[in-house]
Structure 1
Amino acid sequence: MHTFRLAFAAAFFLVFNSASADPNFWRHEWPETDFSVTSIDNWVEIMSGGPPKDGIPALDDPQLILVADEKRIGDREAVITVEIQGERPRAYPIRYLTWHEIVNDEIGGVPVAVTFCPLCNSGITFDRRVKGRVLSFGVSGKLRFSDMVMYDRETQSWWQQAIGEGIVGEMTGVQLTALPTWMESWGEYRERNPDGLVMAQPAWPRQYGRNPYVGYDSSRRPFLYNGELPPHDIPALMRVVRVGDRAWTLQRLMDEGQIVEAGVTINWASGQASALDHYGIGEGRDVGTVRVRDAWGKDVPHDVMFAFAFHAFYPDGEWMLGR
């Protein structure tokens, strides 16, 4: 599905995008979505990423195995770590999320959606409890500013993954709660959590461990992106650490090792491979692991996303450039 997205979607972009700028074009695919309620001002921002609704299949109630039983994952491969007090830590490997993008799970009574958008490098875990109900999420097949548009199966509303906000339908304007999770290398997770859990390989015919976006994070421009590029001569696909509406470039963090600003402490350590560089997910260049904590040492919700995505979704955000 992802190979199709990259190889063919751009070729049909102009023709398809002009047609799909009208939500009436999507009503046959989304008969239960209320397109009259939306925060989208310009429908041309929404476009097809290639696969149709659920063409990238989200996962539900994944199988988990003990860390000691996992033999496929390389030490430098990225995982999203979810630690909820009183529960065993869980790791969700990017080698699987690259092909599924959303995992609906429950940890100690907390329903969560672990999400990863490869085109934005955005990995965020959300609480699925919304307005007194529990939602489950799927992949719409649509992109906005090159970021995944999710949908919930209960109301068929559309959600922007990078900001966790409803953008079309009944849930428009509703904000999901982001949990303080982070991306780290499998080696780091395994060493710290020898008795922890990890999501097992899904039973889908996918080339797990392969990166379908080879060299993407070295590109000059994002895929299917129609927004402004970042200011301050920051490369569009430079990773930035987003905390709220502030962003620190990964280059600054790598240079300094630790940044203490705006009420948070941001640390960087080498050892995590870029999942969007080499053909093999664990063979990419070292982009390191980022941890963000508050003044009391508690983990803080954050995202390590591309600069173009921060600028697109936080146009008035603050760039923390240092001296």
Structure 2
Amino acid sequence: MRLFAFLIAVSLAVPAAATPDRWRNAWPNTDFTRTAVEFSEIMSGGPPRDGIPALSDPGFIAVDLETRLDPTEPVIAVEFDGAEPRAYPLRYLTWHEIVNDEVAGVPVAVTFCPLCNSAITFDRRVEGEILTFGVSGMLRHSDMVMYDRETESWWQQAIGRGIVGHHMHTDLVTLPTWMESWEEFRSRNPNGLVMDEPGWRRPYGTNPYVGYDSSPRPFLYNGEMPPHDIPPLVRVVRVGDRAWPLTRLAEEGQIEEDGVFLSWTAGQASALDTNRIGEGRDVGNIRVRDGQGADLPHDVMFAFAFHAFWPDGDWMLGQ
């Protein structure tokens, strides 16, 4: 049974809303007296705590030694001064969702939530401590709830904010990284590094959510649909509390608005389309920069998720 079908089957057997009483055995060190959200908004996604195993200190190989990735496969590019550029393939993050690493002396969490198509990299330093993140197995608005192993606080991946526990209301620093095709990354960085295949038994390179980004409705989501007749699973480029529909950016190729410069070029496969990730339909490569050409922190997420977490956000629809 495909994982997507398995999650649907499990979700039918899991109560829609959970309470701290159901969670305390699995989360004995989480302070449930501190919460920034309604507990009724949090539900099980199916897998238990660490059922989706986050990674720490991954191995890397030279770009020219990598032979497994298809040219259009998506990777998360992490390019910091003082370190060789690194690519984190979604063929691995789809199955692990979080990679705890250190790049150029910065402890980072490279994250990907398949249900929201949200790929964000965070600085793991919080209040003078370096946190290590895992996958809680919980969802809120269909988005992954992360947890830190040091305090067992719960964190909302899409917004990088503590929602339950000791770190309630604490915001992680989002770093300027982006998704692009493997071919785009290796052409620009012939001396770069790419994350090596983890030592877990997983069918890496395959998509367990076949056809998800063509679905009429998101999985395990009961909130409002996006305004302006925007389909819920259309990708948007989010910068702060503004969202540019990818349909508009792909049509125009380049947009300059409010100090943000967005560009689109063909050549990146959707990780949530076909069984083989590298054969997914072309959703393009997106870069987001400021007026000086510096990369800006951003996300390319589904429209329903943007509306759920930024209900008063600005939709940059153009004329």
TM norm. shorter chain > 0.5: yes
C-alpha separation in 2, matches of 1:164 and 1:197: 26
Q: 2:298 corresponds to which residue?
A: 302
Distance 1:142 1:258, change over 3 A: same
Query: Which of 116, 121, 125 is the equivalent residue of 1:120?
Result: 116
**Unaligned 5+ residue runs, structure 2?**
none
Q: 1:10 corresponds to which residue?
A: 8
Q: 1:315 corresponds to which residue?
A: 311
Q: 1:21 corresponds to which residue?
A: 18
Query: Which of 44, 49, 68 is the equivalent residue of 2:45?
Result: 49
Q: Match of 1:307, as an amino acid?
A: A
Q: 2:153 corresponds to which residue?
A: 157
Q: Indicate conservation of the 8 Å contact 2:136/2:145, yes or no.
A: yes
Secondary structure of the corresponding residue to residue 183 of structure 1 = strand
Alignment of 1:207-222 (within 5 A): 207-222=203-218
Alignment of 1:36-75 (within 5 A): 36-41=33-38, 43-75=39-71
Alignment of 1:136-151 (within 5 A): 136-151=132-147
Deviations 1:46-65 (A, max 9, x none): 11111100000000000011
C-alpha separation in 2, matches of 1:213 and 1:261: 34
Deviation at 1:253, TM superposition (A): 0.1
Distance 1:284 1:9, change over 3 A: closer
Deviation at 1:24, TM superposition (A): 1.0
Q: Does 1:192 align with 2:196?
A: no
TM-score between both structures, scaled by the size of structure 1? 0.97
Deviation at 1:15, TM superposition (A): 5.4
Secondary structure of the corresponding residue to residue 14 of structure 2 = helix
Deviation at 1:12, TM superposition (A): 4.9
Aligned residues: 319
Q: Indicate conservation of the 8 Å contact 2:248/2:317, yes or no.
A: yes
C-alpha separation in 2, matches of 1:204 and 1:252: 39
**Unaligned 5+ residue runs, structure 1?**
none
Distance 1:209 1:14, change over 3 A: closer
TM-score between both structures, scaled by the size of structure 2? 0.98
Deviation at 1:226, TM superposition (A): 1.1
Q: Once superposed, what is the RMSD of the aligned Cα atoms?
A: 1.2
Distance 1:280 1:9, change over 3 A: closer
Alignment of 1:72-111 (within 5 A): 72-111=68-107
Deviation at 1:322, TM superposition (A): 0.4
Secondary structure of the corresponding residue to residue 308 of structure 1 = helix
C-alpha separation in 2, matches of 1:27 and 1:272: 42
Q: Does 1:131 align with 2:127?
A: yes
Secondary structure of the corresponding residue to residue 96 of structure 1 = helix
Deviation at 1:44, TM superposition (A): 2.0
Distance 1:12 1:86, change over 3 A: closer
C-alpha separation in 1, matches of 2:13 and 2:287: 43
Q: 2:27 corresponds to which residue?
A: 30
Q: Indicate conservation of the 8 Å contact 2:31/2:165, yes or no.
A: yes
